[in-house]
Amino acid sequence: MKIESKCLHAGYEPKNGEPRVLPIYQSTTYKYDSTEFVGQLFDLTAEGHMYSRISNPTVDAVEKKIAALEGGVGALCTTSGQSATFIALMNVLESGDHLVASSTIYGGTVNLLSITFQKFGIEVSYVDPDASQAEIEALIRPNTKAVFGEIMANPAMNVLDIEKFASAAHAHDIPLFVDNTFATPVLCQPFTFGADIVIHSTTKYMDGHALQVGGVIIDGGSFNWANGKFPGLSTPDASYHGIVYTDTFQNAAYITKARVQLMRDLGCYPSAHAAFLLNLGLETLAVRMERHCENALKTAEFLQTQEAVEFVNYPGLKKDPYHELAQKYLPKGCCGVISFSIKGGRERAAAFIDHLNMVSLEVHVADIRTCILHPASSTHRQLTDEQLVNCGITPGLIRLSCGIEHIDDIIEDLKQAFAQI
């Protein structure tokens, strides 16, 4: 089945006489026929739902759909992209461990890795995404347990060379985690290039309508977690009577542990209604991404012609430094997000944004409606000047997320704003 059809049909297959549309199972609890079966659920020897803190039929259907879209063995939905990143990494990291991350990742993720993880005794080293494989490997230590990157950096829009990062990680028997939020599985499927775990903020393109906050973790099912570096997966878990995830769940060991251990303890599982809304977005994802990409490319070409614009970052442009990588990893398009810098710095950039009419100033991105933001004074304002430079953010940098409106209306609004600065 092609991905356009999977968006509609994967995950939920109604039987004879059942609802055609995925139902909302708005229940926290479930009824059973025997105490023996309940015991089997708690021992992880039977399949089924025990409590909606870790699973729910509506959410389960959406998880199966997303796993099918990415080509993974399983998925776990969460209540935000941040919680997805947290659980995904903490599923393999312990106090005293270390990870390597691309320096251009989202500012919120930088905070998580640099500040919050430090409180757990976990260190992070950042590497230029354009570094050679040898330079990436030089940062890997004996206690390094993960490598992390974004397929397209927010907001720098550089494209991650997934195969290079995967080769560097796998040379040391550690997994590559890729945030695929901006590309979505419609434009890129990182597992096919060597990624081991994929993460999304489903709040963005997957939802697309700004209706629910969520995240998801997808397990590729190919990494060897029993290689001696991940005792949490390959040694007995005392909280489940000594179960060993790699023995019992084999290629689904990682995603199973994330659910039954970390989600059990942290409880950041989405509601059935939130999953229902997410599913509505997923059903039109392939159609929407085509329009987002089309509008963004035309908008980026327009921005290049403007005297007030210092530079434009969009890998779909033929002269963009990441165009070649985009052709390899993103042949269907480069999403709807563009970053560009206004000459004159922060004040002029703010003036440009304030003169827009249809385009909305929002702390959001990847939405059906075109929106805009000044990262240095909002999402990334907590970063130091050095960190801003590492993230590719100048004082005048603007992030523009092209929606699915008519392209003429988007460009007309930008034109009139340029005319007033």
Q: What digits encode the pLDDT tens for the residues 29-64?
A: 999 999 999 999 999 999 999 999 999 999 999 999
253 and 276: one domain? yes
275 and 151: one domain? yes
* Residue at a domain's end among 252, 280, 308: 280
| pTM for the predicted model, two decimal places | 0.96
pLDDT given for residue 376 in this prediction: 79
262 and 299: one domain? no
186 and 157: one domain? yes
178, 189 Cβ separation under 8 angstroms? no
311 and 271: one domain? no
196: helix, strand or coil: coil
Q: Is 373 left (phi over 0), alpha (psi -120 to 50) or beta?
A: beta
Single out the residue of 327, 280, 320 nearest to residue 303, CA to CA. 320
Domain count for the chain, please give it.
2
CA distance 187 to 258: 26
Phi, psi of 121 (to 5 degrees): 80, 25
- CATH number assigned to the domain comprising residue 141: 3.40.640.10
pLDDT given for residue 385 in this prediction: 67
The mean pLDDT values, 10 residues at a time, for the chain of 421 residues are 98 97 97 96 94 97 98 98 98 98 92 97 97 98 98 93 98 98 98 98 98 98 98 96 96 98 98 98 98 98 97 97 98 98 90 97 96 83 71 85 98 98 92
219 and 93: one domain? yes
268 and 349: one domain? no
* Residue at a domain's end among 225, 249, 280: 280
214 and 309: one domain? no
> Can you say whether the dihedral through the CA atoms of 364, 368, 369, 372 is positive or negative?
positive
Kindly state the helix (H) or strand (E) to which residue 285 belongs, with its residue range: helix 285-303
322 and 260: one domain? no
* Residue at a domain's end among 280, 298, 313: 280
CA distance 281 to 296: 20
Q: Give burial (CB, 10 Å; 0-12/13-18/19+) of 14.
A: exposed
268 and 295: one domain? no
Residue 305's domain comprises: 286-419
pLDDT given for residue 377 in this prediction: 77
276 and 291: one domain? no
- Residue burial 24-39, b: 16+ Cβ < 10 Å; e: rest: bbeeeebeeeeeeeee
pLDDT given for residue 396 in this prediction: 87
Single out the residue of 268, 234, 253, 321 nearest to residue 82, CA to CA. 268
CA distance 281 to 271: 16
CA distance 391 to 67: 30
301 and 371: one domain? yes
